[in-house]
Amino acid sequence: DAMTRSNDTFNDMSGVIAADRAHIWHHLAQHKPFETVDPRIIVEGKGLRVWDAKGKEHIDAVSGGVWTVNVGYGRESIAKAIYDQVLKMNFFGGAAGSVPGALFAEKLIAKMPGLSRVYYANSGSEANEKAFKMIRQISARHHGGKKYKILYRNRDYHGSTLATMSAGGQNERNAQYGPFAPGFVEVPHCMEYRKQWDVENYGLRAADAIEEVILREGPDTVGGLCLEPMTAGGGVITPPEGYWDRVQEICQKYNILLHIDEVVCGMGRTGTWMGYQNYGIKPDFVSLAKGVASGYAAISCMVTTEAVFDMFKDDPNDPLSYFRDISTFGGCTAGPAAALENMRILEDEDLLGNTLRMEKRLMGNLSNLMDKHRVIGDVRGKGLFCGAELVADRGTKEPADEKKVAAVVADCAAQGVLIGMTNRSLTGLNNTLTFAPPLIATGDDIDAITHAVDIALTKVFS
Ligand code: PMP
């Protein structure tokens, strides 16, 4: 039965738990509580369910915690594709090509009209850094080193490395890690629920705010603009009407390369292959990671246009002309082998279609919860990436107490449903419950998820 766990793995996990408590430094976690409470260790997954070390079953509405496992757990065909490939040829440095690398690139490019080149790396951060370096090199070779600045947006996230943090719009994540790399400049977020301008056409106004920054910095100093198509971890921020058309216009007007970070939204998450395809955007760079192989292997891609690519072969006799970059494990074949099979599954099971159908169900259920619970101030999302922002007061939009938001997440987990939350920023923006189940979710799964939230909200806020 594809939806049940095997029976033999949970007999004695005490050694594993002890080893974890003694030696593991978990990501994004305060460890003091682990002195008295066991850490969560996930042992097995099937479909969209996971089991922890105590054998407790959960519906996973966060796709592996960080919106990654798009095709769900326990896919034998992906495991087999990886097995067959690594047995034949597991690795060779990326100056050489590989069979699955070439075949996956061809399939991926077919989904991304206007783009044509794939650069392989391992993580979302790393893929984004590749674009930053390409923009810097284009500035160095083609703009006399002047057009080096890269704009990023408040509330957007592009990774955990120092350069991607330099382009990081979430102050709560950046505090304490400076000084950052120079040449990265922030533009305002576009979240209409928390308006920064009292105007009729908010999308245009928010986009014009980017132009204001460009004019302030000097258009001939700005080489790139890096944006998430829909801000994910920064609060599930869907762009207002008209925003993207204007952003695109501004990039063209000032000859600024547009870098879309699809690490979360890419590979079907929003019901289209790429999040940017919802908005008619024509990017110069697209970074992909999480859903590319659904976490079965580590792989990320920086995808770009032939026009960008051509700028790196202008003078074959100059040792500085080509892209002087390597990523050792970008030469692993497990990633593209898994990605090929992952893409076949997305297509053959029509998971994009399912995502659009389930978006209606999830957004509908969340709207019903909003009618019932005054603590929900706003419901937003696209595809199977949706959020419910919790506020102490609908009039003032004062964010709900973060401890209570965390209590809702914990209560859902106790009920066997894993949901997420975005953190409150240091400047007091949003506390949003997040829902991003694997794209195989059924209507019953969605109902079970929102039912748990209903119970938890009642418990925590009444
Ligand atoms: N960009 C976005 C939009 C992300 O959400 C993330 C990770 N959450 C990253 C980049 C960084 O990816 P990674 O953790 O693989 O480096």
User: Residue 8 domain-assigned?
Assistant: no
* Closest ligand 1 atom to 160 CA: 16
Same domain membership, residue 58 and residue 143: no
Same domain membership, residue 219 and residue 103: yes
Please state the pTM of the whole predicted model: 0.97
Same domain membership, residue 343 and residue 393: no
Alpha carbon dihedral 432, 433, 439, 442, in 10-degree steps, equals: -140
Same domain membership, residue 450 and residue 335: no
Q: How far is the CA of 304 from the centre of ligand 1 (A)?
A: 18
Flag the least confident range among 30-39, 88-97, 208-217, 334-343. 30-39
Task: Specify which of 397-401, 402-406, 457-461 reaches the highest per-range mean pLDDT.
Answer: 457-461
Same domain membership, residue 141 and residue 23: no
Q: How confident is the model at residue 7 (pLDDT cuts 50, 70, 90)?
A: low
CA–CA distance from 95 to each of 45, 91, 250, 286, 331 (Å)?
36, 12, 36, 21, 8
Residue the block writes with tokens 């199977």: 384
Kindly tell me if the per-residue pLDDT of 430 is higher than 80.
no
Ligand 1 pocket test, pick from 67, 126, 263 with the greatest ligand atom count within 8 Å of Cβ, gives 263
Rounded average pLDDT over 148-153: 98
Tokens matching residue 6:
């095997």
Write the pLDDT tens digit of every residue in 331-358: 999 999 999 999 999 999 999 999 999 9
CA–CA distance from 75 to each of 105, 265, 319 (Å)?
22, 21, 45
Same domain membership, residue 314 and residue 424: no
Same domain membership, residue 259 and residue 202: yes
Q: How far is the CA of 125 from the centre of ligand 1 (A)?
A: 6
Q: Which residues pair with 150 in a beta bridge?
A: 184, 224
User: Residue 63 domain-assigned?
Assistant: yes
Length reported for the chain: 462
Domain C-terminal end among 348, 365, 383: 348
User: Residue 239 domain-assigned?
Assistant: yes
The C-alpha atoms of residue 418 and residue 441 are separated, in whole angstroms, by: 14
Same domain membership, residue 372 and residue 281: no
- Domain residues for the domain of 235 are 77-348
Query: Can you give the C-alpha Rg of the chain in angstroms?
Result: 22
Same domain membership, residue 193 and residue 161: yes
Q: Would you say the ipTM is above 0.85?
A: yes
Same domain membership, residue 244 and residue 110: yes
Q: How confident is the model at residue 302 (pLDDT cuts 50, 70, 90)?
A: very high
Find the CATH number of the domain harbouring 224: 3.40.640.10
Domain C-terminal end among 348, 368, 394: 348
Q: How far is the CA of 184 from the centre of ligand 1 (A)?
A: 18
DSSP string, 65-79: III--TT-B--HHHH
Q: How far is the CA of 204 from the centre of ligand 1 (A)?
A: 27
Structural domains counted in the chain: 2
Kindly tell me if the per-residue pLDDT of 386 is higher than 90.
yes
User: Residue 5 domain-assigned?
Assistant: no
User: Residue 65 domain-assigned?
Assistant: yes
Kindly tell me if the per-residue pLDDT of 428 is higher than 70.
no
User: Residue 7 domain-assigned?
Assistant: no
Whether residue 229 has a cis bond before it, omega within 30° of 0: no
Q: How confident is the model at residue 2 (pLDDT cuts 50, 70, 90)?
A: very low
Kindly tell me if the per-residue pLDDT of 417 is higher than 80.
yes
Q: How many CB atoms lie within 10 A of CB 165?
A: 20
Ligand 1 pocket test, pick from 62, 66, 164, 264 with the greatest ligand atom count within 8 Å of Cβ, gives 264
Same domain membership, residue 290 and residue 199: yes
Q: Which residues line ligand 1 (CB under 6 A)?
A: 66, 123-125, 128, 157-160, 228, 232-233, 261, 263-264, 289
Domain C-terminal end among 348, 366, 382: 348
Find the CATH number of the domain harbouring 417: 3.90.1150.10
What is the maximal distance between C-alpha atoms in the chain?
Answer: 72
Q: How far is the CA of 175 from the centre of ligand 1 (A)?
A: 18
Same domain membership, residue 81 and residue 66: no
The C-alpha atoms of residue 190 and residue 11 are separated, in whole angstroms, by: 50
